[in-house]
Structures are given as structure tokens and as C-alpha cells.
Amino acid sequence: MAAQHKLLVVEDDQNLGTLLVEYLRAKGYDADLRHDGREGKAAYDKGGYDLLILDVMMPYKDGFTLTKEIRQRDLTTPIMFLSAKAMKQDAIQGFQSGADDYMTKPF
């Protein structure tokens, strides 16, 4: 059996986060869910993720700040934003913070 890709989803909307993680698991991914930026950073620090899917607006630490912190020591792990912030400037800020992709909700 091929190794599963390990994903970290950081989403403060518990319903959406749970739905997304269940979908990813059904597709064969090993997905973990955290509900705020601080929990997301702690999970990331334990290591081993192949992709990070982050919300922008979260308690304790927003996704842009979390991405900047991660990029200070990790330039290779892909980071994707999944956000309700749909303005062009929001996406630009996401890419400037170090994200590889930016998708808007609903998707």
C-alpha cells in the first residue's frame, strides 16, 4: 500500500472543518483538523505534513500570520488558503504571506 499524504486543515468553522476532513479521509488522505491558528501552529510544529489547508480568519492567530511564521523555516511544504475573504487584495496578501494557492468559500 502506498504511503498516505498527511494533511493539516486549520479551520475555525467546526462544521466545515469536519466535513472537509471527512471528505479528504474518504479520498484516502490522512487529514488532521485544528480549529484555530495557535492549535494549527502546535500541530505543524510536530511535523510530517505534506500540505497545509488554512482559513484566513481564525481565533488567536490568523492564517496570514501563521503562514509567515511557517515560511520562516519551511519554504517547501505547500500551503493553501481556503477563505471567505474573496477580494483580490486578500488573495494577494495570501500569496505575499507565502501561500501556494488561495481558494474562496464557498467552493
Q: Which CATH number fits domain 9-104: 3.30.1330.10, 3.40.50.2300, 3.40.50.300, 3.30.350.10?
A: 3.40.50.2300
- Per-residue pLDDT 10s for the chain (107 aa) are 455 899 999 999 999 999 999 999 999 999 999 999 999 999 999 989 999 999 999 999 999 999 999 999 999 999 999 999 999 999 999 999 999 999 998 76
Model pTM?
Answer: 0.93
pLDDT of residue 3: 59
Residue 51 near residue 21 (C-beta atoms within 8 A) = no
Domain boundaries, the chain: 9-104
The identity of residue 79, as a single letter, is: I
pLDDT of residue 1: 42
In order, the DSSP letters of 32-77 are EEESSHHHHHHHHHH---SEEEE-SS-SSS-HHHHHHHHHTT-SSS
